[in-house]
């Protein structure tokens, strides 16, 4: 069709069909524009609804089952799980929180907790534990007082059972040995029923004298208190390891509770030592805390003695042409609760650090026996320290003859890699299980190889710039956690192998009498002089060398039995001196001439006769004896001294209001002046040397931290200082206590503003407020009504 047809224009095309395309229309207001029609809701089908109901029912069932499993755990585990659930619910929603409960806890965490609980709780009720079954299985939740009550109940039950046996034995006319044997068997049966070892001290064939103290312990409430306290603490720590709270992701080596308990125990021990004294037969007394600080119980002295002994071994090695080897022994994967990245190890079989230590001891006993059969002798030191998940491993510095190096390596590697050898698929895995490093004198001395591990396991001395390989934290900060780990699991951290005994070395240093030593024998004098000068290498050589047997020692300890028996009725054997077999045991040298006993510190005698009371406590101040008006308070007698005058109580009721305000103002002003006069100036603020020494000792012993004078002043001023991950403050008694972290003023203000401030306005209210604020008065709007 053309545009022009016979002189006429073609008609316009028809309008488009309605809805064939969108109309480009600009509406005056957005709310005038048409909106799409509302579609009806799509109702689920019967099959879909049934599937949704089934999934909902299964989820509810799984949640209920998970909560039932959670209720079986101790309170601190339930609190940790519920805290995680609440946090996930706030951040990721209820679905994510339920997934953590039904999947992570039920499938991954609960089996690990169940492995641990099965090692501590009672599984079956018997006639012996039916009354105490519930209380014993709640030990992980019981406090100190409840644990002591349970110990008393168990001890009382054993005492009643032994009473029945005693009566029946008397009726049957049994002799003492048979009666004691029946009592021992019954008490041991009950003790093992409560998962406690019988205190036989390793003896197998017990005599009547041996069974009596063992039976006395098993029905003693004090013995059961110590056992159950230790048992419950290990149970809680083992559960935290299984839960994952002891790892490089949370707290390495030991949990926060274990470190806190260790520090509190150190503090209580020092408080006890400060309140006690040592008294001899003549009544002379010395301070117990001073003797403690000057003994090997002091971490600094203990570290110095260990380093001196290691250096002595190295000198012997250099003198006699021996070589040194550094070994590292690690347990198989099934003993580790988490892997090196801090994740749960699926191969873990529920072993505790104490179980791993027993495995390492068994392995070392087999190695030592094999070397003895082959005629190979070694000497040195081994250090037990934890991985980040509290699993122990050993570092060993050993010295030997050069021709024995290959044999020792082969024997040790064979026994260490014997268990679960299928895991060692490559060289990296074999090195992780057993590592050997030859001591190279060009790289450093043998003492330098082991010095870091000794300092890390005691107080972190001289490790300010060292970083832990596993946790990537400063080694000085983790020293307290390592000490708490060793105390919680009762693991011996340091053990010397070979050489002469250190107890004889310490007794000879107490003697310090060359004339007496030379009078006994020349050999004895050589051993004594070497120990007196602190030369460990000369002492070992004088005793017979690093491979000397105990029966060939030149000097030995001399023991004596005390007249008084122990609380359990057994003889107490203590060291009294030393002797040499060359002269005979009948000629000992007494190094402990006095017998000391621990007594409570005496109170200071405040007798008035012949005592200068200058500086004595003054009477308490009040609004009466503080007044300086006529007839009130101290007066000048003309000699320059203050003389107490008879006090006259002012009649405040007779005063006018103006006079009372003037008197109150004068009292406050004088009180302020007196307080400012007694308070030292800020620039002259000093610290008592004894106070500073006490605080340094407390920080060094309990925290493993060396305080400076500025830090001591800061603590005494009432402020809290952060040491490691916790805050501490000082007091006037010279001790350091845990403190709460300081509150950020801005955070506190925001918290108070959210709690007591006006509620936040909504978006709609903000728009309306801005709209009305922009209106003008001529618009006819009454702003006061709005």
∠ at Cα 316 (311, 320), nearest 5°? 150
**In the predicted model, what is the mean pLDDT of the chain?**
82
Helix (H) or strand (E) holding 640: none
With beta carbons less than 8 A apart as the criterion, state whether 323 and 405 touch.
yes
Does residue 629 register a pLDDT over 70?
A: no
Contacts of 215 (CB under 8 A, 6+ apart): 162, 180, 183, 184, 187
Does residue 581 register a pLDDT over 60?
A: yes
Helix (H) or strand (E) holding 68: helix 46-71
Q: Between these two residues, 762 and 148, which has the higher pLDDT value?
A: 148
Tell the residue number behind the tokens 């002595």, with chain if given: 312
Identified catalytic residue from 453, 505, 539, 579: 453
pLDDT in tens, 211-232: 999 999 999 999 999 999 999 9
pLDDT in tens, 508-535: 998 888 888 888 889 999 999 999 999 9
With beta carbons less than 8 A apart as the criterion, state whether 427 and 417 touch.
no
∠ at Cα 309 (384, 473), nearest 5°? 40
Strands 392-400 and 379-386: antiparallel
Distance, CA of 489 to CA of 386 (rounded, Å): 11
Distance, CA of 266 to CA of 476 (rounded, Å): 18
Q: Which residues pair with 739 in a beta bridge?
A: 727
Helix (H) or strand (E) holding 54: helix 46-71
| Spacing of C-alpha 28 from chain mean position | 74
Tell me, yes or no, if 568 is annotated catalytic: no
pLDDT in tens, 102-151: 999 999 999 999 999 999 999 999 999 989 999 999 999 999 999 999 99
pLDDT in tens, 366-416: 999 999 999 999 999 999 999 999 999 999 999 999 999 999 999 999 999
pLDDT in tens, 447-500: 887 888 888 888 777 666 677 777 777 777 788 899 999 999 999 999 999 999
Helix (H) or strand (E) holding 682: none
Distance, CA of 238 to CA of 248 (rounded, Å): 16
Distance, CA of 664 to CA of 676 (rounded, Å): 18
Say what the pLDDT of residue 641 is. 39
Alpha-carbon separation of residue 495 from 47, 306, 491, 539 (angstroms): 71, 10, 11, 18
With beta carbons less than 8 A apart as the criterion, state whether 406 and 353 touch.
no
226-243: average pLDDT = 96
Q: Which residues pair with 598 in a beta bridge?
A: 278
Q: Where are the beta strands (DSSP E) in 548-693?
A: 556-561, 573-579, 589-590, 597-600, 634-636, 642-644
Both tokens of 570, joined, read 């057994």
Distance, CA of 577 to CA of 591 (rounded, Å): 5
Say what the pLDDT of residue 593 is. 85
Alpha-carbon separation of residue 197 from 218, 445, 569 (angstroms): 10, 44, 20
Lowest mean pLDDT across 342-351, 433-442, 659-668, 752-761: 752-761
The count of C-alpha atoms lying within 13 angstroms of the C-alpha of 659, restricted to the half-sphere facing its C-beta, is: 7
Say what the pLDDT of residue 636 is. 42
With beta carbons less than 8 A apart as the criterion, state whether 632 and 646 touch.
no
Distance, CA of 112 to CA of 337 (rounded, Å): 9
Say what the pLDDT of residue 728 is. 78
Q: Where are the beta strands (DSSP E) in 280-333?
A: 285-287, 323-329
CB neighbours of residue 390 within 10 Å: 30
Both tokens of 494, joined, read 């340091």
DSSP string covering 93-136, please? -HHHHHHIIIIIIIIIIHHHHHHHHHHHS--S--TTTTTTHHHH
Residue 78, φ and ψ in degrees, nearest 5: -60, -40
CB neighbours of residue 337 within 10 Å: 27
Does residue 621 register a pLDDT over 50?
A: no
pLDDT in tens, 98-113: 999 999 999 999 999 9
Residue 736, φ and ψ in degrees, nearest 5: -115, 130
CB burial class (10 A; 0-12, 13-18, 19+) of residue 400? buried
pLDDT in tens, 289-317: 999 988 988 888 999 999 999 999 999 99
432-455: average pLDDT = 85
CB burial class (10 A; 0-12, 13-18, 19+) of residue 419? middle
Contacts of 110 (CB under 8 A, 6+ apart): 69
Contacts of 722 (CB under 8 A, 6+ apart): 741
Say what the pLDDT of residue 626 is. 38
What is the chain's alpha carbon radius of gyration, rounded to the nearest angstrom?
Answer: 40
Sheet with 721-723, side-by-side order of all strands = 721-723, 726-730, 736-739
Say what the pLDDT of residue 24 is. 60
Q: Which residues pair with 323 in a beta bridge?
A: 400
357-369: average pLDDT = 96
pLDDT in tens, 326-346: 999 999 999 999 998 889 999
Distance, CA of 709 to CA of 13 (rounded, Å): 101
With beta carbons less than 8 A apart as the criterion, state whether 15 and 23 touch.
no
Say what the pLDDT of residue 565 is. 85
Distance, CA of 230 to CA of 245 (rounded, Å): 20
Tell me, yes or no, if 327 is annotated catalytic: no
Does residue 547 register a pLDDT over 90?
A: yes
Counting runs of H as helices and runs of E as strands, what totals does the chain give?
Answer: 26, 18
Both tokens of 782, joined, read 């009454």
With beta carbons less than 8 A apart as the criterion, state whether 689 and 704 touch.
no
Distance, CA of 453 to CA of 152 (rounded, Å): 42
Both tokens of 103, joined, read 């999947």
Both tokens of 91, joined, read 């951040």
HEC-encoded secondary structure of 147-207: HHHHHHHHHHHHHHHHHHHHHHHHHHCCCHHHHHHHHHHHHHHHHHHCCCCCCCCCCCCCC
Distance, CA of 188 to CA of 25 (rounded, Å): 98
Say what the pLDDT of residue 369 is. 95
pLDDT in tens, 646-690: 434 556 666 777 777 788 778 777 777 776 665 544 433 456 777
Identified catalytic residue from 184, 322, 449, 539: 449
- Segments in 521-656 forming alpha helices (H): 522-532, 536-543
pLDDT in tens, 18-71: 555 555 666 677 777 777 777 777 777 778 777 777 888 888 889 999 999 999
HEC-encoded secondary structure of 77-95: HHHHHHHHHHHHHHHHCHH
Tell the residue number behind the tokens 């089934």, with chain if given: 54
Longest Cα–Cα distance of the chain, Å, equals 156
- Nearest Cα to 277, choosing from 266, 265, 291, 267? 291
| Spacing of C-alpha 719 from chain mean position | 24
The count of C-alpha atoms lying within 13 angstroms of the C-alpha of 541, restricted to the half-sphere facing its C-beta, is: 15
With beta carbons less than 8 A apart as the criterion, state whether 258 and 575 touch.
no
Does residue 721 register a pLDDT over 80?
A: no
Distance, CA of 378 to CA of 237 (rounded, Å): 36
Does residue 187 register a pLDDT over 80?
A: yes
Tell the residue number behind the tokens 């009649």, with chain if given: 651
Lowest mean pLDDT across 442-446, 704-708, 755-759: 755-759
With beta carbons less than 8 A apart as the criterion, state whether 724 and 253 touch.
no
Say what the pLDDT of residue 118 is. 95
């Amino acid at each position: 069709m053309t545009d022009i047809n016979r002189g006429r224009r073609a008609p316009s095309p028809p309008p488009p069909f309605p809805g064939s395309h969108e109309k480009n229309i600009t509406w005056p207001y957005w709310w005038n524009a048409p909106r799409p029609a509302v579609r009806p809701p799509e109702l689920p089908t019967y099959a879909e609804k049934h599937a949704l109901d089934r999934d909902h029912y299964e989820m509810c069932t799984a949640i209920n089952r998970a909560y039932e499993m959670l209720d079986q755990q101790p309170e601190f585990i339930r609190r940790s799980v519920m805290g995680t659930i609440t946090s996930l619910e706030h951040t990721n929603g209820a679905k994510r929180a339920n997934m953590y409960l039904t999947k992570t806890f039920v499938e991954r965490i609960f089996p690990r907790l169940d492995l641990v609980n099965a090692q501590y709780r009672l599984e079956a009720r018997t006639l012996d534990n039916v009354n105490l079954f519930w209380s014993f299985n709640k030990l992980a939740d019981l406090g100190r007082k409840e644990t002591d009550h349970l110990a008393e109940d168990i001890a009382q039950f054993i005492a009643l059972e032994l009473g029945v046996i005693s009566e029946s034995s008397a009726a049957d006319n049994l002799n003492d040995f048979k009666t004691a044997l029946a009592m021992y068997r019954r008490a041991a049966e009950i003790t093992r029923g409560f998962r406690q070892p019988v205190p036989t001290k390793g003896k197998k064939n017990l005599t009547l004298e041996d069974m009596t103290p063992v039976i006395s312990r098993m029905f003693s409430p004090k013995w059961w208190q110590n056992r159950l306290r230790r048992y419950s603490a290990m149970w809680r720590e083992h559960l935290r390891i299984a839960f994952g709270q002891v790892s490089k992701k949370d707290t390495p080596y030991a949990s926060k509770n274990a470190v806190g308990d260790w520090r509190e125990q150190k503090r209580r021990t020092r408080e006890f030592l400060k309140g006690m004294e040592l008294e001899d037969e003549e009544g002379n007394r010395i301070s117990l805390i001073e003797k403690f600080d000057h003994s090997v119980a002091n971490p600094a002295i203990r570290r110095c003695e260990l380093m001196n002994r290691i250096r002595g071994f190295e000198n012997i090695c250099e003198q006699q042409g021996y070589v040194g080897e550094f070994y590292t022994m690690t347990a198989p994967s099934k003993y580790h609760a988490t892997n090196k990245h801090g994740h749960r190890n699926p191969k873990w079989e529920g072993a505790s650090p104490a179980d791993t230590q027993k495995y390492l001891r068994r392995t070392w006993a087999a190695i030592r026996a094999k070397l003895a059969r082959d005629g190979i002798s070694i000497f040195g030191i081994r250090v037990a320290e934890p991985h980040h998940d509290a699993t122990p491993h050993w570092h060993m510095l050993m010295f030997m003859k050069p021709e024995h190096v290959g044999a020792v390596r082969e024997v040790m590697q064979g026994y260490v890699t014997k268990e679960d050898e299928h895991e060692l698929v490559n060289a990296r895995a074999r090195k992780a299980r057993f590592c050997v490093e030859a001591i190279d004198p060009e790289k450093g001395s043998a003492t330098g190889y082991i010095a870091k591990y000794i300092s890390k396991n005691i107080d972190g001395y001289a490790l300010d710039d060292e970083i832990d390989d596993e946790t990537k934290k400063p080694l000085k900060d983790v020293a307290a956690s390592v000490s708490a780990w060793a105390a919680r699991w009762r693991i011996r951290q340091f053990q010397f192998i070979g050489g002469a005994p250190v107890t004889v070395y310490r007794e000879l240093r107490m003697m310090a009498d060359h004339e007496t030593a030379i009078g006994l024998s020349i050999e004895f004098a050589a051993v004594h002089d070497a120990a007196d000068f602190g030369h460990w290498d000369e002492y070992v050589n004088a005793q017979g060398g690093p491979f000397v047997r105990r029966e060939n020692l030149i000097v030995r300890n001399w023991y004596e039995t005390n007249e008084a028996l122990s609380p359990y009725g057994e003889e107490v054997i203590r060291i009294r001196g030393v002797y040499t077999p060359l002269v005979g045991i009948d000629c000992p040298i007494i190094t402990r001439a006095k017998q000391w006993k621990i007594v409570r510190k005496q109170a200071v005698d405040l007798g008035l006769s012949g005592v200068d009371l200058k500086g004595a406590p003054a009477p308490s101040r009040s609004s009466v004896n503080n007044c300086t008006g006529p007839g009130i308070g101290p007066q000048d007698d003309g000699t320059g001294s203050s003389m107490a005058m008879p006090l006259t109580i002012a009649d405040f009721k007779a005063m006018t209001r103006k006079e009372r305000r003037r008197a109150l103002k004068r009292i406050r002003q004088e009180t302020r002046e007196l307080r400012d006069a007694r308070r030292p100036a800020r620039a002259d603020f000093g610290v008592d040397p004894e106070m500073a020494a006490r605080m340094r000792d407390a920080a060094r012993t309990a925290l493993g931290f060396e305080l400076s004078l500025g830090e001591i002043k800061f603590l005494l001023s009432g402020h809290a200082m952060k040491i490691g991950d916790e805050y501490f403050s000082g007091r006037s008694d010279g001790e350091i206590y845990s403190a709460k972290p300081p509150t950020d003023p801005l955070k506190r203000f925001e918290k108070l503003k959210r709690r007591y401030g006006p509620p936040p306005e909504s978006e709609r209210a903000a728009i309306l407020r801005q709209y009305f604020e922009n209106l003008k008065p001529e618009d006819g709007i009454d702003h006061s009504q709005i």
